[in-house]
Structure 1
């Protein structure tokens, strides 16, 4: 029987193995500077931090360790957002992997957890929006240099996440009880076929229902909306069945244009973990 840390690592591996996932690295597609092998190495490297969370460590230090290990490959940021979702979920699984329990886990985060989160930005480059003027001192891209301002304001990690909504849908999961992560798990359980195929189908369904915030950050909101509209058009009668060739073409087009719906992949990875922990899928 796998441990929660092992299931989290497996979720990262299954997420990148699913294909086609339009715009993202998968087992059939690399990006110019980010390859399938980088994601495999990132998942393995994150294991120590995931085990810390499974052993009951605080969310912030466990996340920082996971990111540090993830970054020990040549591609840079592969799974920062996924780990930000997985670490509190793994921590919650010590008691019960449910939305109320994971909400309790994130409510209990501290200023120290927030400081660890900021230190994690020292390991990789993460695409984020410019903060409002009154939050400039707390720009996460400042990393460790922002910690004194963080401590002066006494902000917990959950409060930092709350200030990142609506521009960041990983932060939104923290604030909204990981609702899309648990919904993704249900879709994975209800889908048919190999887990890698279910993963690709659920990724597309998530992309079709909400514009990806990483696409909005790197490009603009109109581009993110267009990607979501195109994904929705590929779904047949709101089901997970699609025209495989059309999805493949969509995936190739997004890769060629450098459009990467990475936040949707993060939620998919979180959904995979929940489904694995609940025994709803069995690779």
Structure 2
């Protein structure tokens, strides 16, 4: 029986589902453990609720800021809080553009209204902002400053790139997303390739979500411990236990892994082998 290739929307949903159900991914929700307030079911619910926004992006393109805001609205219907905000930042340009080159073209077309919509979406989440950030999503003066400066959404990402590796993808050509997709191809198909790609990224880059929550020293330490796992000097289960005990979750690496899965799926990577 001939199977049709998945649409962009289906690839994005698959990427979100496959990332959260792969295990073990040290410190993050997976099929083996939840957080106190956010469970696997909440992540899976988001993959379903967000579909209309994904379909709109695939069908029409449109303003990325408005699409991200709509995605946050659609996925606020469960009690698990923010599950995929960083992933939306990466996926919507890919959905609108089809691939990394198209995504980069899409982000260059953003304008001030995209930035304002993005800040409205950001304000609906509980995403952490670094202390001392000059553009506080909870301060109405920040929106006024964005308009006064004529900042586009790409400008906002460039402003945030130093402290946020997801925002950095918009300014560095989706470099880590490309690396994640390459790692998936390198490690073969299925769930274990996702875990291997995740661990390789965690061993290469200090996760900025960890840094915002626990400080840069903890992010660097987690990277070093991931390197020990990749090198075979400690077990992934040991690192998982350590991260869970310390409330350390590499959320930004997870978001980039999702984007990498999306790209790899479009290149023929097999998730169900």
Q: Please, what TM-score do these two structures have when normalized by structure 2? A: 0.93
Q: CA deviation at 1:251?
A: 0.8
Pick aligned residue for 1:256 from 242, 245, 251: 245
Partner of 1:154: 150
CA shift at 1:108, angstroms? 0.9
The whole-number CA distance in structure 1 between the counterparts of 2:155 and 2:184 is 31
Q: Aligned-pair distance for 1:146?
A: 3.3
For 2:218, the equivalent position in structure 1 comes to 223
Contact 2:96 2:102 in 1 (8 A): no
Partner of 1:170: 166
Counterpart residue number, 1:239? none
Distance 1:40 1:145 in 2: 36
Alignment deviations for residues 45-70 of structure 1 (CA, whole Å, 9 cap, x no partner)? 22122112111222111111112112
Distance 2:137 2:211 in 1: 18
Give 1:121 shift: 2.1
Q: CA deviation at 1:123?
A: 2.4
Q: Distance in 2 between matches of 1:261 and 1:177?
A: 21
Provide the residue aligned with 1:109 in structure 2. Answer: 110
- Spell out the pairing of 1:104-253 with structure 2 (5 A cutoff): 104-132=105-133, 135=134, 138-142=135-139, 146-193=142-189, 195-236=190-231, 246-253=235-242
Per the alignment, residue 2 of structure 1 pairs with 6
Deviation digits for residues 166-209 of structure 1 (CA, Å, limit 9, x no counterpart): 1000011111010110110111112135x222111111110000
C-alpha distance in structure 1 between counterparts of 2:40 and 2:229, whole Å: 25
Return 5+ residue gaps in structure 1 as ranges: 237-241
Q: 2:77 maps to what in 1?
A: 72
RMSD: 1.6
> Is 1:81 aligned with 2:78?
no
What is the rounded CA distance, in whole Å, between the counterparts of 1:16 and 1:141 in structure 2? 29
Unaligned 5+ runs, structure 2: none
Query: How far apart, in 2, do the equivalents of 1:29 and 1:265 lie?
Result: 15
Deviates more, 1:121-130 or 1:13-22: 121-130
Does residue 19 of structure 1 match 2:8?
no
**CA distance in structure 2 between the aligned counterparts of 1:9 and 1:131, rounded to whole angstroms:** 35
Aligned length: 267
Extract structure 1 runs of 4+ deviating beyond 3 A.
Answer: none
**Offset at 1:145?**
6.0
Give distance in 1, aligned partners of 2:222 and 2:158.
26
Deviation at 1:147, TM superposition (A): 2.3
Change (3 A) 1:54 1:131: farther
